[in-house]
Amino acid sequence: MSLSLPFERSMPVQHRWAVWAGPAVVAGAVFFNFGLAFINAQVMGLSASHVILAEAGVVGLSHVIILRNYDRLITPWYLLLAFLLIMGAARWCLIGTVDPKAVRDVILIPTFFALGIAAGPRAAAPLLLLLQVVTTGVVLFEVIALDLYSWLFNVKGFYIATRGLAAEAFWNNESTLFVSATRPGQRNLFPFLDIHRASSIFLEPVSLGNYCIIVAAYVSAYARTMARPLLVFYLLTTIILLVACDGRLAIMVTAVIVGSSLFRPRVPRASFFFLPVIVLASFAVDAVVDVRTDDLPGRSSLAAYVFSRFGLPEWLGMSRAGWAQSADSGITFLIVNQSIFGALAIWLYITLVPAEESREQAVFKRSALIFLVTTMLISNSYLSIKTAALLWFLLGTTQRAPEPAGRRRG
């Protein structure tokens, strides 16, 4: 039985403007870094403050839409939001350091989930189609006209200006792309293509790979009701994007999600055990591999290594600096910044609260959790607003039944 409110007790028909306002805000979350990079390269120099203001504006607009279309389905997510804000404030008081980013990282989850509920199920498909068309178009432009793309957006300069990265962190001095756009030793999956790791509107390849996984999750959930030409379009363009970003993890997770979508979960709430199982698996890998290579086994081993060196301050989220290597291990990063209690609360919410009553709900939710647990072993990229906003918004839109045509109103 679902811990969420029954599916039939959906909120009243939302105002017509929310159907486009919600997706517009999510599109802004996805695009704003791309736009700021252009401004930084072509108009004026930017700083971290500009990025913070843009993100704050996106989150603020989200809550305006949510509150104007509020319903009891949203209440659990606002309770989670309040809990995370209180935990963040308590942590600041205890460690004597104000760390807004730690709070910002996690409030995206309840914010965009609630926005998805407020916007409703009709808001998802047009948004995803727009993003897929633009992302594919930009990635083709990037691959075909790399010099022009590099000049227009100067990704390296943007990240140095707005993220505090040092120029030395970009090992390839000849490139103005993100540091991971080229791999040392050319360890690409498709070296015969002789292209870099593309980023499209996301500016760095990992987020493009994460975006592909999210698209695969949504399309897998709704493939049975999707028009055949549209399904073929998503299949072909997602393959293009996966090859372009050369994302090994993205390709693997996409394959797992597509395969698992053939089966509807028979044991309700079994997804709660995804994260504990993957953490235990990391310890098993560490016992066998015990290396820190830049691949899935190496990162899994790293997660266990970092866990084994946690002290009480890290478990309670009270360490000033946390563990230096936690940024390369998403689950340890979450605990260092939110405490074991905050991390557990987030995981309980995202596994137990969203409904699984329809096939679409069950498949998309399970696919989203597969994406999260695998990404958590590798990095903290799952917290980036560029993809987190889209993921949680889409999941939120699945929580309400489509409205009968006769009941729609402005």
The tens digit of pLDDT for each residue in 190-245 reads 666 778 899 999 999 999 999 999 999 999 999 999 999 999 999 999 999 999 99
Q: How confident is the model at residue 95 (pLDDT cuts 50, 70, 90)?
A: confident
Q: Which two tokens stand for residue 170?
A: 């970009």
Asked if residue 313 has pLDDT above 60, the reply is yes
Residue 304 domain-assigned (yes or no): no
Give the model's confidence band at 39: pLDDT under 50 very low, under 70 low, under 90 confident, else very high: very high
Residue written as tokens 């403050």?
Answer: 49
Confidence of residue 9 (pLDDT cuts 50, 70, 90): very low
Give pLDDT tens digits for 151-195: 999 999 999 999 888 777 776 777 889 888 876 655 566 666 778
pLDDT of residue 233: 98
DSSP for residue 123: G
Q: How many residues does the chain have?
A: 410
Indicate whether 262 pLDDT > 60.
Answer: yes
Higher pLDDT, 280 or 32: 32
- What average pLDDT does this structure show over 89-104? 85
pLDDT at residue 10 is higher than 50: no
pLDDT attached to residue 268:
58
- Classify residue 103: in a domain, yes or no: yes
| Residue 410 belongs to a domain | no
C-alpha distance from residue 169 to each of 94, 157, 241, 262, 332 (Å): 32, 12, 26, 43, 23
Nearest to 178 by CA among 194, 199, 163, 164: 199
Q: Is 383 helix (H, G, I), strand (E, B) or coil?
A: helix
Question: In the numeric block, which tokens belong to residue 314?
Answer: 């890290």
Whether 291 is covered by a domain: the verdict is: no
pLDDT at 1 over 60: no
Q: How far apart are alpha carbons 360 and 223 in whole angstroms?
A: 9
Whole-prediction pTM value?
Answer: 0.90
- Hey, which of 65-69, 265-269, 292-296 has the most confident mean pLDDT? 65-69
Per the domain annotation, does 248 fall within a domain?
A: yes
Chain CA centroid to CA 36, Å = 20
**What are the Cα distances from residue 255, in Å, to 217, 249, 289, 388, 391?**
10, 10, 24, 20, 18
- What contacts 7, CB < 8 A, 6 or more positions away? 355, 357, 358, 399, 400, 401
Which two tokens mark 106? 């996690």
CA-nearest of 207, 205, 208, 218 to 258 is 218
User: What average pLDDT does range 316-342 have in this prediction?
Assistant: 80
Rounded CA Rg of the chain = 21
Least confident of 42-46, 153-157, 264-268, 373-377: 264-268
Residue 84 domain-assigned (yes or no): yes
153 in a domain, yes or no? yes
Residue-range definition of the domain harbouring residue 114: 16-185+194-276+310-400
Chain mean pLDDT for the chain: 86
Rounded CA separation 59/180 (Å) = 28
**Is residue 267 in some structural domain?**
yes
Q: How many domains does the chain have?
A: 1
Nearest to 33 by CA among 159, 144, 147, 126: 159
